[in-house]
Chains A and B, each alone.
Chain A
Amino acid sequence: MSDQIELRGVTKVFGGGLFERDRNVALEGVSLTVATDRPAITAVAGESGSGKTTLARLLLGVIEPTSGQVLYNGKDLRKMSRDERRQFRREVQPIFQDPFEVYNPFYKIDHIFSVPVAKYQMASSKAEARKLVHGALEMVGLRPQETLGRYPHQLSGGQRQRAMVARALLLKPRVILADEPVSMVDASLRATILESVRRLNRELGISVVYITHDLTTAYQISDNIIVLYKGRIAEAGAVEHVIRDPRHPYTQLLVQSIPQPKPDKRWSAYELEAGTAGRAGSTGCKFADRCPSAMQSCWDTVPPLYQREPHRVASCFMYRDVPIMDGNDVATVFRQPARRGPDAAAAAPVSERA
């Protein structure tokens, strides 16, 4: 079985129990494969309510799908043995959005490092543990003597977030799931944190799933991207295609609305209609109510993924003349990056390290 983490036809519904009237379909029939033997950075982008955080939590095994499967190295997360689950928990590491909430204020920063070291018996002596922790901190540009021994409130938001990256790194994971890692840090630190995420991928050969609402940083650090809209994939493929030349009307709207830091490239002066959303039925395309090019078929049928180019699919009837993508995995259109990781030069498969 190849090394990968995989969503297979996953649907996640919240609510809708016996006494609840509101059924909220957070994710609908999404399939996605993230290979760990060819480390890439895959962005999952969307607005609030698009299902991107649900997708992250499914991949982490924190929540279970309503239907479909989440597989790690071919094994269903729900059917894993204790040992397999333990290994999964070590090899798939999260970095969360809020660098304030993830810390317990009563413990020093050291706590987030000493627990995993002890739990996974990563070091045989205190000196060895210290060396590991120091190495991880230095990798993300933190000075150990300025970080360890302090309480979370004594560090800045950027330092706390980088400490979380260091903690993820300490466990030598195969996959890092970064859920909006830079949305709460200032501009000057954002670059530093993104750079350390990129180094994890380039130098250590860790696959990264970068979950974000910010298409600019997604474009900058990822190889491939999937754009979610209300729980379904709108467009997916190589990031150069999807962001530089979007095809789905929703992606086009998103890209046009990015406030670029360029006074000479301002938003077009047309005022968009305010809040017509909410009329989309459950039968057709979820974007039909906001779409300038909506046709009758958009209201009746869910558009499949049309593959116009080798490295892009779009779920839109505007492309109904091109082939429908075979199978259910958007990752087949992803562009494979050049080999990365510590032994990339030797061209040895990264899976054989350690």
Chain B
Amino acid sequence: MTTVAPLHGAGVPATGKPVLEVRDLRVHYDTDVGQVPAVDGASFSLQSGERLALVGESGSGKTTLAMALLRLTRPPGRIVSGEVLLNGQDLLKLDDKEMRGVRLSGIALVQQGAMNSMNPVVRVREQLLDGLYDHGIKLTKVEARERVAQLLTGVGLTPEVADMFPHELSGGMKQRVCIATATSLGPKVIVADEPTSALDVVVQRQVMVTLGRLQAGLHAAVVLVGHDMGLVAQFADTIGVMYAGKLVEVAPVAQIFGRPLHPYTKLLIESLPTLDHKQEKFVGIPGLPPALLDLPPGCVFHPRCPSVMEHCRGLAPGLREEQSRRWVACHLFPGEQVRNA
């Protein structure tokens, strides 16, 4: 069965009310040696059907940010301040019971390493129905069977998979079951945290195409967390680049790869190996990401930045709208309009 799937996002309408709006979100980890600002004032917004990818190195805070959107931050992590508005409703102000109702139906998660996010002693059918029952959906036996079959065929699996245990499934099949679970209540936002990090390239492509098809069908927004620049280039409409807990650039995918503004983004793109021609030399980004406990003053990237200026060392740049739909946090672009001010 070969179907033509809309691989690209539905495109982003220039106007319209965002489905998800994040304002100045801060998540800290409380440790014995002090507070670690894992997410330090992140702001962005998403339209229905838009695919945003958060990229960054390990420790940049991308997963912490994604988990905070679902309020799944666990101690020692703590959401310190900010707003997460889903259709205008601030999720951070809900009580736990209300938040439980919003998860899956409003904002759903596809986890990293599907193998570990399923219960090994429960059949796929029960795992799929669990979320539905928890949201108060009453189904007869026949209806439940039909619903499960429908969910499984929706992700390209046969209905027989329902009777299997997780260990009987391959990695790609497990991830498909997780996608079926995440989309079972038609969420407005799907958070996918490195959904294919343990899969082979062929399976990865299949899983991402399936995720894209379902998301486009639901007209849901996606927040994809990834470190593979190739994968996000294939999938996303918009890229948010994170560095040391901060969003340093947010822009449409073509511009991030074609004409990156932030020096970190630029170096990151340049360090990627390509299939076009053999490179004479591989150039990484000199230096190391800073320890979050001991951030440099001013711009967090200044010790590694090739274009560092004097005031970068003292003054941290905010995320500014440099061009339409392009935000960058860098003193090289001293645009006046401060986003979400």
Contacts and interface: CB of A to CB of B under 8 A. Distances in A.
A332 interface: no
Contact of B284 (A157, A189, A254): A189
B141 interface: no
A192 B284 contact: yes
Given A216-B230, A259-B201, A271 B5 contact: yes
Contacts of B253: 263
B278 A219 contact: yes
A254 B201 contact: yes
Contacts of B268: 187-188
B156 interface: yes
B227 to A, nearest CB: 7
A271 B229 contact: no
A288 to B, nearest CB: 16
Contacts of A253: 202
A157 B57 CA distance: 11
B313 interface: no
A344 B266 CA distance: 36
B205 A259 contact: yes
B297 interface: no
Q: How large is the interface on B (under 10, 10 to 19, 20 to 34, 35 or more residues)?
A: 35 or more
Interface in A240-270: 243-244, 253-255, 257-264, 266-267, 269-270
A186 interface: yes
A220 B278 contact: yes
A187 B229 contact: yes
Interface in A175-207: 186-195, 198
A286 to B, nearest CB: 14
Interface in A138-196: 156-159, 186-195
A255 B205 CA distance: 11
Interface string B109-128: 00000000000000000000
Contact of B274 (A257, A260, A273): A260
A272 interface: yes
A217 interface: yes
A267 B234 contact: yes
B240 to A, nearest CB: 15
A73 interface: no
A213 B200 CA distance: 8
Interface stretch (B16-24, B25-33, B169-177, B321-329): B169-177
A47 B8 contact: no
Contacts of A48: 200
Contact of B271 (A47, A190, A275): A190
A274 interface: yes
Contacts of A257: 201-202, 204-205
Contact of A269 (B7, B206, B269): B7
Interface string B89-120: 00000000000000000000000000000000
Contact of A272 (B202, B213, B281): B202
B85 interface: no
Interface in B308-340: none
A35 B258 CA distance: 41
A260 B232 CA distance: 9
Contacts of B14: none
Contact of A186 (B8, B57, B234, B281): B57
Nearest to A186: B57
A274 B210 contact: yes
Given A254-B201, A263-B253, A216 B273 contact: yes
B282 A258 contact: no
B271 A260 contact: no
A157 B58 contact: yes
B205 A272 contact: yes
Contacts of A157: 58
Contact of B288 (A156, A220, A270, A274): A156
B149 interface: no
Contacts of B281: 195
B273 A217 contact: yes
A270 B213 CA distance: 11
Contact of A191 (B3, B58, B283): B283
Interface string A306-345: 0000000000000000000000000000000000000000
B274 A186 contact: no
Contacts of B284: 188-193, 195
Contacts of B137: none
10 contacts: A187-B268, A216-B273, A217-B273, A258-B201, A259-B204, A260-B230, A261-B257, A267-B205, A271-B5, A271-B209
Interface of A: 47-48, 156-159, 186-195, 198, 213, 215-217, 219-220, 243-244, 253-255, 257-264, 266-267, 269-275, 277
Interface of B: 1-8, 57-58, 155-157, 170, 172-173, 176, 200-202, 204-206, 209-210, 213, 227-231, 233-234, 253-254, 257-258, 267-269, 271-275, 278-279, 281-285, 288-289
Given A270-B2, A273-B1, 13 more contacts: A156-B289, A187-B57, A188-B267, A191-B271, A213-B201, A216-B275, A253-B202, A258-B230, A260-B234, A267-B7, A269-B209, A271-B2, A274-B210
